[in-house]
Amino acid sequence: MIAQGDRRTVFSIMFILEESGEMARRVVVAGATGLIGRHLCAYLHERGNEVIALVRNVEKAKRQILTATAYVHWQPSEHSAWAESLDGADALVNLAGASIFGKRWDAAYKNEIRDSRVVSTRVLFSALIAARRKPAVFINGSAIGYYGPRDATPLDEQSPPGNDFLAQVGVAWEQEALEAEELGIRTVLLRTGIVLDHDDGALPKMMLPFQLLSGGPILPGNQWLSWIHIADEIGLIALALDDERVTGPLNATAPEPQTNRDFMATLGRVMGRPSWLPTPGFGLHLLLGEVADLLVQGQRVLPRKAQSYDYQFRYPTAEAALRDLLVH
Ligand SMILES: NC(=O)c1ccc[n+]([C@@H]2O[C@H](COP(=O)([O-])OP(=O)(O)OC[C@H]3O[C@@H](n4cnc5c(N)ncnc54)[C@H](OP(=O)(O)O)[C@@H]3O)[C@@H](O)[C@H]2O)c1
């Protein structure tokens, strides 16, 4: 059975089915109940894969995703019985991690942000070691936060990491994942930008001021915003699953990032609302604390590797992505 929200996703990503090559059959997804995980499960289900969802709360997960074949309770901090679900699986996708914008960052929440990624990846690796028949491919969620705050210099997969908190988390997270290469498992580090989805994630929050007729750029306005439509995020995960050439870091961002000022102007235009009231960075800092840096600073990330594999973005521009999500 496919839920209404899942069905919308399936329709929007049907094109991927036509383009995907040989398919992994049994796919284990950790963090399956999240924004990306829910769309991924719906897509994998639709194309006939067996989806094993590793979740912290099975009953809740059954309400959130209707498209998994099996729901396995796991503790992301501990290797225990759940690890057997990786034995004989064809692919593992790890999307688990405490929300970056979930709470104001204090020392305890920063630890949770880091451990929910680094430690969970480490226990998944120990489960991969234990698996008698190991998955052929491991796709580990990562983020463009790996590159740290930057100016307008274009960044690709070869660019060095930054050194702020999220960059340090990204480096440690990717190092844990790369251990899987030692097991002969093709490992992909999916460096995701800001995912645009109609119902969840950043976009509904960005829309709110526009709905109140008080939308505008976050100052200084010239910071870059590297985004991706959810359908292309799933398209790139499909590419990583199915195409054996894909290995190592893979930027999951659209080919045409925009400055914050331009992106907000596009959003206002698509919503038919003015983009006129700037939000000062210091105001966001007072409201949100350290996490506000992510909005006030940015980075201009390009999907060079995806393009080198000839991945065709369905939504290369913010205008096209926002029109699809908000107008159709
Ligand atoms: N969405 C974006 O714009 C974006 C951008 C860049 C990077 N990413 C990264 O991509 C990954 C997936 O993104 P998403 O947007 O789908 O995330 P999400 O909606 O926040 O969901 C992440 C999932 O991780 C699990 N989780 C939450 N807290 C956890 C904890 N403390 N320990 C272990 N697992 C925990 C939850 O699954 P269960 O409750 O089922 O266990 C949750 O559904 C994340 O690592 C995220 O940082 C996302």
Give the DSSP letter string of 276-298: --PBPHHHHHHHHGGGGHHHHSB
Ligand 1 pocket residue status of 36, Cβ below 6 Å: yes
Q: What is the pLDDT of residue 234?
A: 98
Distance CA 267, CA 205 (A): 12
Ligand 1 pocket residue status of 34, Cβ below 6 Å: yes
- Atom of ligand 1 at shortest range from CA of 37: 16
State the average pLDDT over residues 178-198: 98
Q: How far does the centroid of ligand 1 lie from the alpha carbon of residue 141, in Å?
A: 9
Encode pLDDT of 226-255 as tens digits: 999 999 999 999 999 999 999 999 999 999
Q: Is 13 a residue whose pLDDT tops 60?
A: no
22 CB burial (10 A radius; 0-12, 13-18, 19+): exposed
Q: What is the pLDDT of residue 21?
A: 53
Distance CA 128, CA 135 (A): 8
Listed as own residue / partner, the contacts of 168-171 with beta carbons closer than 8 Å and 24 or more positions apart are 169/113, 169/114, 169/117, 169/118, 169/145, 170/142, 170/143, 170/145, 170/146, 171/146
Q: What is the pLDDT of residue 49?
A: 97
Give the Cβ contact number of residue 302 at 10 Å: 19
Q: How far does the centroid of ligand 1 lie from the alpha carbon of residue 276, in Å?
A: 32
Identify the residue whose C-alpha is closest to ligand 1 atom 35. 97
Q: How far does the centroid of ligand 1 lie from the alpha carbon of residue 112, in Å?
A: 12
Is the Cβ–Cβ distance between 178 and 170 less than 8 Å? no
Q: Is 2 a residue whose pLDDT tops 50?
A: no
Tokens standing for residue 250 = 């893979």
179: β partners: none
Is the Cβ–Cβ distance between 190 and 141 less than 8 Å? yes
The pTM assigned to this predicted structure is: 0.95
Tokens standing for residue 185 = 């498992």
Ligand 1 pocket residue status of 145, Cβ below 6 Å: no
Q: Where are the alpha helices (DSSP H) in 179-328?
A: 202-211, 230-242, 260-271, 281-288, 293-296, 304-308, 318-326
Q: Where are the alpha helices (DSSP H) in the chain?
A: 4-12, 14-19, 35-46, 58-64, 107-130, 165-178, 202-211, 230-242, 260-271, 281-288, 293-296, 304-308, 318-326
Report the range of poorest mean pLDDT among 114-123, 288-297, 315-324: 288-297
- As a residue count, the chain comes to 328
| Domains, the chain | 4-197+227-255+301-319 (3.40.50.720)
Q: How far does the centroid of ligand 1 lie from the alpha carbon of residue 76, in Å?
A: 12
For a ligand 1 pocket test, name from 58, 99, 196 the mutation site with the most ligand atoms within 8 angstroms of its C-beta. 99
Q: How far does the centroid of ligand 1 lie from the alpha carbon of residue 99, in Å?
A: 6
First-residue to last-residue Cα distance in the chain: 24
Is the Cβ–Cβ distance between 208 and 264 less than 8 Å? no
Tokens standing for residue 123 = 């226990």
- Atom of ligand 1 at shortest range from CA of 145: 6
Q: How far does the centroid of ligand 1 lie from the alpha carbon of residue 98, in Å?
A: 6
52: β partners: 28, 70
Ligand 1 pocket residue status of 31, Cβ below 6 Å: yes
